[in-house]
């Protein structure tokens, strides 16, 4: 019996040893879904040639100022399948679809030196816009790519006013200025104006164009529909925003017209007349205005005195100014029930 027990114990110990040996061998196995690694990945990056050659491609900086005053160093290294440098191969650089960026100062006429190296310099070219230039290098059937960002160009907008009536009169001037990274104006830069918001404006002569010799694109902006409008200028890969408010003329208390014989002036701020003329001043007076008071520092209203109160009819009130002597008349109109609703005119 003792021999049988001893034999069983010995068998169990032997099996346990085998099990432990198997665990030790499996400790280097990869986890499910993780492929085993056999050596190092091929050197060089990019797309290898059929024979395994590769080309390393690097740049001295990932960004280049748009002014063109600086360059970025480009270095290509040709390697064989074992990662050893290969001299004598011709390296071809390209800037892809970019129309003006180029590689200059290419060493050795593009032929790799004893270390398999060819260098060059990336130039911005005539295009000063912010963009990404993708440099490619090809040699011995291998290719590689590296991007460089052209940065620093700006666009700015300046408007002579930001409040516009929806009648299209009294437009403002909008000036768009394009500059490169060194703050130099950029001429012949394409500019596009877009608009969003509840209101509407129009651009004259057009919403698109190019900058002049001073780097400027100038348009007039007129109100077309009441509400807020955001205008965005896009140029050189940059944008600028200006906000406008378009007011509804029908909702504003204002002098909206003067008539002097056959001469009609809309939304006037200053008009002229001669002694003996009759100047009809019309006021837009939306509800709840019931009457309008007209006041002048010279002349008289409706053949009476220097002030007159006129009832509103159909949202309008009019009075006629006459003058018996030369001089400047300061005209004021207001709602007597709400004096904050007022306007003025110089005659």
User: With 0-12 CB in 10 A as exposed, 13-18 as middle and 19+ as buried, what is 157?
Assistant: middle
Sign of CA dihedral 176, 203, 254, 290: negative
Q: Class assignment of domain 252-346?
A: mainly beta
Rounded to whole angstroms, the Cα distance separating 246 from 68 reads 42
Q: Is the peptide bond before 296 cis (omega within 30 degrees of 0)?
A: no
Cα 31 to Cα 22, 36, 281: the distances in Å are 16, 9, 91
Check residue 45 and give its pLDDT: 63
Q: What pLDDT, on the 0 to 100 scale, is given for residue 172?
A: 96
What is the reported pLDDT for 236?
A: 98
Question: Could you give the angle at the alpha carbon of 102 between the alpha carbons of 97 and 106, nearest 5°?
Answer: 130
Domain boundaries defined on the chain: 54-151, 154-249, 252-346
What is the model's pLDDT at position 323? 92
Report the distance separating Cα 190 and Cα 178, nearest Å. Answer: 9
Q: Are 74 and 103 in contact (CB under 8 A)?
A: yes
Contact 159/223 with Cβ under 8 angstroms? no
pLDDT in tens, 250-302: 778 999 999 999 999 988 999 999 999 999 999 999 889 999 999 999 999 99
Q: How far apart are CA 119 and CA 57, in angstroms?
A: 10
Tokens 């986890």, residue located: 31
At residue 129, the pLDDT reads: 98
**pLDDT of amino acid 46:** 81
d(CA 108, CA 120): 10
The answer to whether 166 and 246 have CB atoms below 8 angstroms apart is yes
- CATH no. for 154-249: 2.60.40.10
- Same CATH topology for 154-249 and 252-346? yes
Residues of the chain with pLDDT under 70: 1-45
Q: What's the pLDDT at 9?
A: 35
Q: Cis omega (within 30 of 0) on the bond before 253?
A: no
User: What local confidence, expressed as pLDDT, does residue 19 receive?
Assistant: 35
282 neighbors 268 (Cβ within 8 angstroms): no
Q: Report d(CA 103, CA 106) in Å as an integer.
A: 7
Q: Give the CB-side neighbour count of residue 3, counting CA atoms within 13 A.
A: 0
How many angstroms separate the first and last alpha carbons of the chain?
136
CATH superfamily of the 54-151 domain: Immunoglobulins (2.60.40.10)
Strand, coil or helix: what is 141?
Answer: coil
- Give the residues across from 238 on adjacent strands: 235
């Amino acid at each position: 019996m003792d021999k049988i027990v001893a034999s069983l114990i010995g068998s169990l110990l032997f099996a346990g040893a085998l099990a432990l040996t198997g665990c030790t061998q499996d400790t280097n196995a990869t986890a499910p879904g993780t492929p085993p690694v056999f050596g190092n990945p091929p050197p060089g990056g990019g797309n290898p040639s059929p024979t395994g050659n590769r080309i390393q491609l690097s740049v001295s900086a990932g960004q280049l100022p748009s002014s063109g005053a600086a360059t970025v160093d480009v270095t290509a290294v040709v390697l064989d399948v074992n990662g050893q440098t290969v001299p004598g191969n011709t390296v071809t650089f390209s800037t892809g679809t970019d129309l003006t960026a180029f590689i200059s100062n290419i060493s050795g006429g593009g032929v790799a030196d004893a270390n398999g190296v060819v260098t060059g310099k990336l130039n911005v070219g005539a295009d000063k816009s912010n963009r990404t230039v993708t440099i490619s290098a090809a040699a011995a059937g291998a290719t590689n790519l590296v991007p460089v960002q052209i940065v620093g160009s700006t666009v700015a907008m300046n408007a002579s006013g930001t409040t516009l009536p929806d009648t299209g009169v009294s437009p403002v001037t909008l000036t768009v200025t394009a500059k490169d990274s060194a703050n130099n104006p950029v001429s012949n830069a394409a500019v596009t104006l877009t608009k969003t918001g509840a209101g509407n404006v129009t651009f004259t002569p057009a919403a698109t164009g190019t900058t002049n010799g001073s780097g400027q694109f100038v348009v007039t902006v007129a109100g077309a529909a009441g509400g807020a409008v955001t205008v965005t200028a896009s140029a050189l890969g940059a944008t600028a925003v200006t906000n406008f408010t378009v007011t509804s003329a029908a909702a504003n208390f204002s002098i909206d017209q003067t008539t002097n014989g056959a001469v009609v002036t809309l939304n006037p701020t200053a008009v002229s007349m001669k002694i003996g003329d009759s100047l009809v001043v019309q006021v837009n007076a939306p509800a709840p205005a019931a009457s309008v008071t007209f006041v002048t520092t010279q002349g008289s209203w409706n053949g009476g005195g220097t002030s007159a109160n006129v009832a509103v009819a159909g949202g309008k009130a009019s009075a006629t100014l006459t003058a018996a002597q030369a001089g400047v008349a300061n005209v004021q109109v207001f709602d007597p029930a709400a004096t904050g609703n007022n306007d003025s005119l110089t005659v």
